[in-house]
Structure 1
C-alpha cells in the first residue's frame, strides 16, 4: 500500500506547487517549495534542490547550486561566432541569453534586426557606394568591398599628401599633364622662343593650389606676345598662320588642363588690351550653360561639355583674343561646295583678289570633353562686330589647321542663323577657334531695262487684276464655277504682285523680311494652285463637248476648289517654315534662301503644276481639234468652239506655262529669254483681264450697259444743270463759244 500512497502524495504535492506558481510566481515557489531559498537566477527542481536557470551556471561548475553559491551568466559568445550566429554576423551576450546581428556593411534579408541562431542568418553585403551611404570625398570614387567600401582617387587624380589612397577620408587632387608646347624647329623667331621659355617656367613651377593664378599668367603671356609680336610679323604669311595655329591649339589644351585644378564655380579675367576669359566649373546640373564676354556669347548643352569617360566636375571656357588677327591677316577662306553654289547664285562669287577681313575677335572654346568634332547638339555663338558694307558677305568660320602646320578659315560644320548691323548669330557642330569673317563679292548687275519692264508690267497687271476682280464680283450674268476660279486667281495674283512691288527689298528687319518671304511664298503657291484648278476646269469644259454627264464633276469642283486652292499652299508653307524658318529671307531679297535646297519648297510644287497644266493644255487642244473637224454647218457652235480654242491658247500664258522660259535662260539666248520671260509673266494680269473680261460677249454687254447707264446719268445731270442756268441767267450763255453752244443745243434737242 505504500507505493500508491506515496504516488498520491507526490501528485498532491505537484498540484500545490502549481497553485503556488500561479499565485505567487516562480521565486515564491522556489522559496516555499525547497527546504532553503534558492539563489538568484536559479529555480527549485523537484522541491528538493536548486538549479541555475538556462544561460547561467553555478560558481562551482555543478548543475545544482548550493545555498552558499551563486548562478553566474554564461557568455555564449565565447564560442565560435560562425557556429552560433553563422557567417557575416556578430554575437551579443545578454544576461542569461544572447542575440545575433549582421556585421557592419551587411544587412539581413529577412528584415529582422536580431536573430538567435545560425539557421536564421540571412545577412548579405550592402552596396555602400550608393549616394548618402558613404563618406567619400567628391574628388574620389567609391569602390564597394565585402562588408565595407574604399575611397579611391579618380583616374587622373592622386591623393593629397598625407591622405592615404583607399581610406574613408581620402582626399585627392588632379594630376596635371601638360602637352608639349614649344617652338617648331622650322620657325625661327626670338619673340616666340622667349614666349615658350616663360610658359615652360610657369608650368614647371605649377601647384594645383595656384591654378587660377597660372591661368591668368598664361593668358597674359599670350596677350603680351600678340601685343608686341616683334619678328613674328616679318615671317612669311604661311609661317605666321602656322604660329597662330600653334598658339590657338596650345592655349586651348593648356587651359583645359589647368582648369581641372580649379574649384567649382565661375571665373572671369581680362587684360588691359582686351583679351577676356570666362569659364565655369561645376557638376552636371543644368542642361545648358551660357558664357559671355564683351565680344561674344556662347550657349552650349552640358552633355557636350562633360567628358564621356570621366566623372565629377566639368569645365567649359571661352577666350577672346583680339590680337590674334595680326597673325591671321590674308588667311584664305575655304567654303563648302554647297555654300559656293549658293553664293554663285546670289552674288556671282567672291572676289579672289581681295582677302577676307575679320569682323570679330577670334574666340577659342575649351571643354572637359576632348571629342568635340561631331557634337550631338550644335553650339550657338553670338558675335558682336563692326558692320559690313555693301557687296560684303558675312560668314561664320572656324580656324582649321592644315597638314603642313598652317591653316585656313573654313565654314564646314558652321552656319549663320541670323545677322544684324553689329551682331551675328552662328551655330557649329564642333568646337575650335571661331570668328565672323567678311568677304567681298561680285554683285550681280541688274539690267535696268528688265527692272523697268518688271515694274511697268506688274503695275499694269495690278490695275487689270483689280478691274477683273470687280467684274467677276459685280457682273451677275457671268457668275459660275469658272468665274469663281478666275476671281480667286485674280485676288491671289493681285496680292502677290502688290507685296512683291512694295516689300521685296525690305531686308532691314530680318523678322519682317522673313514674314514677307513667307507671305510671298504662300501667295505665289496659291496663285499656281488656282492656275492648276483653272487648267483642270478648262480640260473638263472641253471634255464636256463630247461627254454627256458632267454634273458630278461640276459639283466636285464647287465643293473642293476652296480647300484645295488655299489649303495645299498652306500645308507646303507650314512644313517649310517648321523645318527651316531661318531660311526665309536673303541678304538681298525677302524671298526663299537657296541654301540647302530650300528654294525647292517653291520650285518643286511650281514645276509639278506647270507639267500638269501643260498636259491639260495639250489634251484640251486635241479635244478641240477633234471637235472642230467634226463640225459642219452649225455656225454658232463652230464660232463658240473656235472662241474656246482661242481662249485655250491664251490660257497657256495665264496658267503659268511661260515660267518654263526661266529654265531656258542659259547660253547665248539667255538675255533674249530673260526679256521674254519678264515681259510675258509681268503682264499675266493683263492677259487675265483681256481673255476673261474683254473677250467675253456677256461681259462686254454688261460693260456697255454700265457705260450707257453712266452716260445717261451724266446727261440727266447736265440737262438739269443747263435748264437751271438758262432760267436764271439767260444772257450769260449768249457769249459761250460755238462749240459749247452747239453741244448744249444738241443735248437740249434730245429732251
Structure 2
C-alpha cells in the first residue's frame, strides 16, 4: 500500500511538472503575434506548419504575421498509392483511401490509410454479383452509378457453351498501364482505362476513358464554377480551388482563409468619402484612384501602394482648380479630411513594410518618414526627413492598447502643396486673446497669418493623441524675412476643427522655445508668422483724416486769432493757446503715436511724455476758457479776470508739473508695446484721466452757470427779443462752449470697455474733428471775423474796401442791441 501511494504521488508530480513546462514554453517561447491556423510556435520569432500543411518556406517556417499554412494534396504525389480497386481522397492536413464503387473493405471500415491496408473486395449487396466461374456482373441501376466510372470487368457472353474462365491481370497495380500522370487508372477484366481525376477534364481532342487519355486541370476560378464568397478571391489549385481573403482583408471570426466556405471582412482602410458640400471633378477622380489602389492592395508591395497614394495626392494639390472654387469653410475641411485619410492609410499600410526606418520623397517634394519598432522599446526615438524631425518617448507611440503585430509606428508626412487649401485659414484666439490684449494693452481685432513651413502631419500607432503622457518635441524647416514688423510673433500652430465644423489654426497645448516646438498632443502642424492687428482699419482712417482736417482748421484758428485785430482780447488769447496746444499734440500724435519697433524705446517715451504734456495743456487752457467765460458773464459784479502771466503760468506750468511728477514716480509708465502713450498698468493712466475728469467737471459746472447767466442777460438787454432768435443765439453759444470746453472727452471717460465699437467711433469722430468745431464756432460764426475775411477777399480780388464797407452800414442797428456786452465779444 505504501508503494502504491508513492507511485501515485510521483505520477501527480510528473503531470504537474509537465503542465508547468508546457505553460512556460507557451508563455516564453512563442512570438508576440499569434501563429496562423494549422501551425505551432517554434521560438519567439517563428512558427512551423503542422504535418500535412506547408508554407512558402521550404522548411515550413513562418516568420511574420501575414504568413499562412496551406494544405498539401498528398493524392498528387506519385509515391503514394492506395492499391487496386481504391481511390485516394485528399482531406485538410491528411488523406485517406476508399474502395471504388462496388467494392468494400473486408473489415467493413469506410476508408484506410495506406496500400498495406487495402482489402477491397466485391460487394454482393451493392449490385456487383459474382457470375459463374467468378466473373463479375454489374446489375446496378443507371441512376445509382457513381460520378467516377466504376471498375466494370467485361465478361464472355452468358450462355455460350463451354465458356472459359481466365485470370485477370491488374495493370493498374502491376505498373503495366500507360496512363498519363494526369489520369486515374481503372482496372478492367483483361484491360484498363485512364479516367480524368476529379477536378480535371480531358484535354482538347482526348476522350475520357481510353488508355491514351490526357487530362488538364479545370480552372474553376476563370470558368466561374467556384462557390467563393464575394469577399474572397478564388485561387485555382490542381484538381480544386481555394477561397482566399482579399489582400488586407481578414477572415471573419470563426472562418479561416482557404476553405471553400471562407468569408472575409474588409480591412480598416479609410473610405475616402467626399464631403457632401465639397464636390468637384478633381476630388472625385482622386477618390476613385485611391480606392482602386487600396482595393488592389498587396502586402508584398505596400511601399508601392504608399508611393502611389502620395503621388495621387500631389497630383490633386498641384492644380486644385475645382477645389479652389469652393467656399473657404469647405476648402479647409477638404484639407483636414485629406490629411486625416492620409494618416489613416499610412498607419494601416506601414505594418506591411520591413521593420525599421522608411523614407520616401515624391517628385513634388512631399516627404514621408516612417519608423517601426517593437512595442516594448523604451528608448527616445527621432523620426526625421529633410523638412522636419520629431523626438518622442517610444512608449507614447504604442499608447495604452497594444497592436496585434507587436510593433509600433511613428511617422511624419510633409506636404508643400496642402497650404494652397489653407492659405486664408484664421487663427483661434479664444484661448490666448486675454494674454495678447494684456501684452499689447489694446484689443486684438484679428490676426494675419503667413505659413513659413510645410504642413506636417505627425501620426502614431496610438490613435488617441489628444492628450499624450509626455510632450513631443519637433522642429520644422522654415525661413523668416529679415525685417520684423510690429506685433509679429513666430508660433507653432496646429489645425483644429471646432464644434462648428470650421477649421482654424490654434496653439492650445503647444509652446515654442527658440526653433523647437513642444506639444502635448498630435495633429497637423506648421510654423506660422502671426501679425496681430489692434487697430480697426476704418477707425484708423477716420482718425487720420479727421486729424488732418483738424490740423488745417486749428492752423486757420491760430492765424485768425493772431491777425484779426478787432477780436483780439484776453479771451482770444485763451483761444489761441488752446489751439496751439491742440495743434502740437495732434501733430505729435500723427507722427509718433505708433510704436513701430514693438519695444518701448527712449524715443517712444519722449513721444508719450509730449503727448501727455500738450493734451494736459489743452485741458488747462480749456479750464481757463471756463474761468474766462465765468468772469465775462459776471464781471460787472466781480471785476476783471486773470492776467496773461497768470494764465500762461497755469496753462503751461500745471501740465509740466504733472508730467515731471509722473515721470519721476514711474518712468516706465510712458510707452506701450503698441502705442507711444501712457501705460494702463498700475493705474498710471490716472495721471492724465484724473486732471481731465476734474477739469471737465469744473467746466461743466461753469457751462451750466454761464448758460443760466446768458439767459438772464439776454432778457435784460432786450426784453422784447423774439423767442426764436433768443433760443437760436442761446443754442449756438451753448454748442460753441461745449466744444471749446472739451466736453467731447466725456465719451472717453465712459470708454471702459475697449471692445465697445460704437462708443469708440463716437469718441474718435468728436475728438478728431475738434479743430473743425473750434474753427466753425470761434471763427466762422463770429461776425467780425467774417467781415475781416471779406475784407481780405476783396483785397485779394483787387476791389476797394470802401465798396465793401458801404454795403455793411445797415448793420449798426442790430449791433447796438448787444453793446451791453464787451465790444470784443459781440460777434458771438
TM class, shorter-length = 0.3 to 0.5
Tell me the TM-score normalized by structure 2. Answer: 0.37
Tell me the TM-score normalized by structure 1. Answer: 0.41
Q: Which structure shows the higher helix fraction?
A: 1
